[in-house]
Structure 1
Amino acid sequence: MTYIKSCVILYIEDNEDIGKWVKDELTQRGYQVYWLLSGQDAQKYFDLADIVVLDIMLPGLDGFTLGKRFKKLRPQVPILLLSARTALEDKVTGLKFADDYLTKPFAPEELAARIEVLLRRNNFIETNKIKFGNHLIIDFSAHTVMNEETKQEIVLTGKEYQILAYLVKHANQIMTKEQIFEDVWEEPYIDGDKTLSVHLRHLRIKLEQDPDKPTVIQTIRGIGYRVKQ
């Protein structure tokens, strides 16, 4: 699965547990994330970044020093500071150059929301297209699926699109029938209900090069389904 174009985030955090968690959360939301443990090699990634998410307490150069340098080099790139330091003077110091300041601990939903606000404020337009299955492109903005080989749109029903979008957004994860059904239909799954299976069969007929040997939507016997990266 390949991102055709997505927002590039430079994320600098020396705590490996927090860093992995945040990177995974942002990647699942469609962002391309470069995660560094320090600012040592940040310059080459900074040139690619659409936004910087920066911890303040870092080994070597701290976040304040790095952030000021980044802002001088590319003033248009928004900077979001992360810190466990809640003192007013720290926030005031950070916001003299940064665009936002978020204190730890924080929920992933709040971090994502703040990133989206900064991107909108800076007129960043994201083409939220993902290539998967070697020949398919899903456009989350337009809610369409294209066959790259034939250059034709694959017409899906609303439920078919929702199922596919859910699986693509959770690529490489095995999602159970219960998880998929309850997300798409927003009601409890009843064991033995064939509704999801019927929709998946129709999806495979439209998406797979050989519906009898599916490679796009894989069945993990006894567990659920997966779109593999």
Structure 2
Amino acid sequence: MGATLLYIEDDKEIGSFVVDHLQENQYEVKWLISGDRAVEELEGCNLVILDIMLPGLDGFTVGQRLKKAGPAIPILMLSARTSIDDKIQGLQLADDYLTKPFHPDELVARIEVLLRRSSEPSKEAKRIKHLEVYEAENRIINTDNGEEIMLSGKQFHIFMYLIRHLGQIMTKEQIYESVWGESYIEGDKTLMVHIRYLREKLERDAAAPEVIQTIRGLGYRVRG
């Protein structure tokens, strides 16, 4: 199977047809008929296909909640509404907008574009305090002295994970499971040791970190 898609559509006839077509194209699909549990089901998904006209919470509200929970996960909105106002409102939170009726091959093509775009690291530098981070090139420059900072593979993956969730508090469990691909065991000091080494390399003063913040009792955060 390829990427995992969260599909939210209350029309069972349309939904069944779309799910079959997506699975034929090697996608794994989580299909919901309302947005009530959308945030809970977002875990492990690479993209969201979201219908605007839903029972209960409308697609705009669901989309806002999903973007807050997973800002890096692209959203493709579906709607029978064709007015420019609806499209503008949809595109304020979604990454693409497709009007019904649509051909399933067009849906697949748009999904592929969004997934490709979201998986490509930006070639532009991200500026974090005194650091310039070039994710595509695996390079970090200290702008105070112009020198490149060398990180180990695990250190780089931890830092990139935090940067991809810039401003968000990420728990030890989330970081560990993303970087090591294993469940975090309470009391394991491995991540804490890597964070200490990261701070020694990245911070102006490791004893007073500005880049990687500890949020006591919760986890870590990088703020831009």
Please list, as runs of the form range in 1=range in 2, the aligned pairs for 1:5-154 lying within 5 A after superposition.
15-21=59-65, 27-28=71-72, 57-58=80-81, 60-61=83-84, 81-83=97-99, 85=100, 90-91=101-102, 100-101=106-107, 113-117=112-116, 126-132=122-128, 134-154=129-149
Q: Distance in 2 between matches of 1:60 and 1:101?
A: 20
Cα deviation, residue 193, structure 1 = 1.4
* 1:80–1:101 contact (8 Å) kept in structure 2: no
Q: Which blocks of at least 5 consecutive residues in structure 2 are unaligned? A: 1-51, 53-57, 89-94
Cα 1:130–1:57 change in 2 (3 A) is farther
Q: Which residue in 2 is equivalent to 1:222?
A: 217
Cα 1:111–1:171 change in 2 (3 A) is farther
Cα deviation, residue 147, structure 1 = 1.3
Cα deviation, residue 21, structure 1 = 4.8
* 2:203–2:210 contact (8 Å) kept in structure 1: yes
Q: Which residue in 2 is equivalent to 1:211?
A: 206
Write the deviation string for residues 157-206 of structure 1: whole angstroms up to 9, x where unpaired: 00100110111111121111111111111122222111111111110011
Write the deviation string for residues 74-133 of structure 1: whole angstroms up to 9, x where unpaired: xxxxx95424x3xxxx336xx9xxxx446xxxxxxx9764325589xxxx995253211x
% same residue: 36
Q: Distance in 1 between matches of 2:176 and 2:70?
A: 24
Provide the secondary structure at the position in 1 that maps to 2:223.
Answer: coil
- Count the aligned residue pairs: 162
Q: Which blocks of at least 5 consecutive residues in structure 1 are unaligned? A: 1-12, 34-52, 67-78, 103-109
Cα 1:80–1:210 change in 2 (3 A) is closer
Q: Which residue in 1 is equivalent to 2:155?
A: 160
Cα deviation, residue 15, structure 1 = 4.7
Where relative contact order (Cα < 8 A, 6+ residues apart) is larger, the structure is: 1
